[in-house]
Amino acid sequence: MPRTLPNGKQNNITIRRLKDKLGVRAVASGELILNKAVGYLIGIEENGFKYMAEALNVSRLGTGMSGIAIARRAFLEAAIYTKHREAFGSKINQYPMVRETLVNMMAEIEAGWATTAQTLKLFDEVHTYNQKNEENYPLLRILLSLLKYRGSELGVSAAKDALELHGGNGYIEEYVTPRLIRDAIVNPVWEGTANIQALEILKTLSKVSGRKFIQELRATLNAIDHRELMALRKFFEQEVARLETLIVHVLQQDEYTQTALAKKLADIMYDVFSGVHLLEEAQYDVNQDNNARRVLAVEQWISLKFDRSEDRGILANCAISEEIFNALVCFEKKEL
Ligand SMILES: Cc1cc2nc3c(=O)[nH]c(=O)nc-3n(C[C@H](O)[C@H](O)[C@H](O)COP(=O)(O)OP(=O)(O)OC[C@H]3O[C@@H](n4cnc5c(N)ncnc54)[C@H](O)[C@@H]3O)c2cc1C
């Protein structure tokens, strides 16, 4: 829509208001009134919805990645701050609970990146190289919704964790943490909320029964052949089988129950998918230069998302080891 018409007059577009937003203030958002305004058709008239769906694919990819990127920045700020801040006679990154928060942030980031990389690869296949087919497109739709949902959530939780690790300073505008949290919190909302992403996944699953999703996971696990990673492969094979049963179960329910279960199912799909692909990346690192840093990330991911012990690790005295802290938070190489 041109601002000025060919006859030199203003097009009939008025700005009702610029929105006073909680965050993303660097991007102006406004409400426009179009009153018989002139617009030019782009593309084919009947294809509007198709174009919109494709645009949503791009924006959901960007939104999910934005969440992961905010989490990464939040982690960096928190890792540096806690290394220097002294309280109760010690640098605060020596305290186990601080270490646990940092290690868990990084496990989430590594897992989130594993899903992001797979989504980008498939996105390129479908959109950049025009190799869209009945197999890869439903998988891409599922991955985009998973990434949009959980990447966005991660941005918010990591920004909040980083703020808390800064203590009172984290709440003050001289630090970046308030801005991170304000900017992160729009991601779960725009481009479709978490519930809407879960419904999208359900819709795609009911069309293709989740077969491709499960097949992809099994193929990835079949390529894990490093002797030291066999126990992790076996663990995820069991989780994939469990997930397959859950998908079948959900799809057999009536519509009300299906939608009630949609987000829980999406969460498990993301946890399994991210874990399997993090393991794939861990094997790559080990084969490259015997660096097992990401193997530790997989183990931490498992204890974060799949711990079913009733005492939440208390009786096993679960505490963050020096080894895992140095590898995940300080990026030290860990030999296998
Ligand atoms: C800063 C900003 C910029 C934006 N820019 C654009 C833009 O450029 N273009 C554009 O088109 N839109 C834009 N939006 C709109 C944005 O995409 C929507 O606000 C968002 O998708 C949520 O929709 P809604 O506001 O209608 O919420 P609602 O649909 O009213 O949702 C409210 C709550 O109900 C839940 N809910 C709704 N339906 C269901 C259901 N069926 N099952 C379960 N739960 C449900 C939602 O999950 C949510 O928690 C923007 C929004 C913001 C905040």
pLDDT at site 282: 98
Mutate to test the pocket of ligand 1, among 189, 197, 257, 265 (most ligand atoms within 8 A of CB): 189
Q: What whole-number percentage of the chain has pLDDT above 90?
A: 91
Pocket of ligand 1 (CB under 6 A): 21, 29, 186, 189-193, 195-196, 199
pLDDT digits (tens, 9 = 90+) for 171-189: 999 999 999 999 999 999 9
The one-letter amino acid code at 81 reads: Y
**Average pLDDT for the chain:** 96
CA quadruple 181, 184, 185, 189: dihedral, nearest 10: 180
Domain positions in the chain: 1-41, 49-184, 211-262+271-329
DSSP letter assigned to residue 177: H
pLDDT digits (tens, 9 = 90+) for 96-119: 999 999 999 999 999 999 999 999
This prediction has a pTM of 0.95
Calculate mean pLDDT across residues 32-36.
95
Q: Judging by beta carbons within 10 Å of its beta carbon (0-12, 13-18, 19+), is residue 133 exposed, middle or buried?
A: exposed
Tokens 């791009």 belong to 58
DSSP letter assigned to residue 184: H
Using the mean position of ligand 1's atoms as its centre, give its distance from the Cα of residue 240 in Å.
Answer: 32
Buried b (16+ CB within 10 A) or exposed e, 293-313: bbbbbbbbbbeebbeeeeeee
Give the Cα separation of 143 and 275 in Å (integer). 14
Q: What share of the chain is helix, strand, coil (3-state, %, to 5)?
A: 70, 5, 25
Does the pLDDT value for residue 290 go beyond 90? yes
Closest Cα to residue 107, out of 254, 259, 281, 223? Answer: 281
The one-letter amino acid code at 120 reads: L
DSSP letter assigned to residue 30: E
pLDDT at site 81: 98
Atom of ligand 1 lying closest to residue 195 CA: 47
Calculate mean pLDDT across residues 306-313.
91
**C-alpha to C-alpha distances, 240 to 225, 233, 276, 283, 302, nearest whole angstrom:** 17, 10, 9, 19, 13
pLDDT at site 231: 98
pLDDT at site 66: 97
Crossing angle between the packed helical segments 194-208 and 211-222, to the nearest 10 degrees = 90
Residue minimizing CA distance to atom 21 of ligand 1: 192
Closest Cα to residue 103, out of 317, 336, 333, 330? Answer: 330
pLDDT at site 167: 98
CA quadruple 116, 122, 128, 130: dihedral, nearest 10: -160
pLDDT digits (tens, 9 = 90+) for 71-87: 999 999 999 999 999 99
Better-predicted residue by pLDDT, 273 or 134: 273
Which token pair is 38?
A: 């002139």
Mutate to test the pocket of ligand 1, among 58, 145, 190 (most ligand atoms within 8 A of CB): 190
pLDDT digits (tens, 9 = 90+) for 257-269: 999 999 999 999 9
Residue minimizing CA distance to atom 1 of ligand 1: 29
Using the mean position of ligand 1's atoms as its centre, give its distance from the Cα of residue 277 in Å.
Answer: 31
Using the mean position of ligand 1's atoms as its centre, give its distance from the Cα of residue 21 in Å.
Answer: 15
Q: How confident is the model at residue 191 (pLDDT cuts 50, 70, 90)?
A: very high
Closest Cα to residue 185, out of 67, 101, 62? Answer: 67
Atom of ligand 1 lying closest to residue 194 CA: 47
pLDDT at site 31: 94
pLDDT digits (tens, 9 = 90+) for 201-225: 999 998 887 888 999 999 999 999 9
**C-alpha to C-alpha distances, 268 to 63, 132, 246, 247, nearest whole angstrom:** 21, 26, 9, 10
Which token pair is 280?
A: 């794939």
> Could you please report the per-residue DSSP string of 98-154?
HHHHHHHHHHHHHHHHHHHHHHHHHHIIIIIS----TTHHHHHHHHHHHHHHHHHHH
pLDDT digits (tens, 9 = 90+) for 119-159: 999 999 999 999 999 889 999 999 999 999 999 999 999 99
Please, which residues have CB within 8 angstroms of residue 108's CB and are 6 or more apart in sequence? Answer: 71, 154, 157, 158, 301, 304
pLDDT at site 53: 86
Q: Are 263 and 195 in contact (CB under 8 A)?
A: yes
Give the Cα separation of 193 and 262 in Å (integer). 13
What's the fold here for domain 49-184? Answer: Butyryl-CoA Dehydrogenase, subunit A; domain 3 (1.20.140)
Residue minimizing CA distance to atom 8 of ligand 1: 29
Does the pLDDT value for residue 284 go beyond 80? yes
Give the Cα separation of 144 and 64 in Å (integer). 8
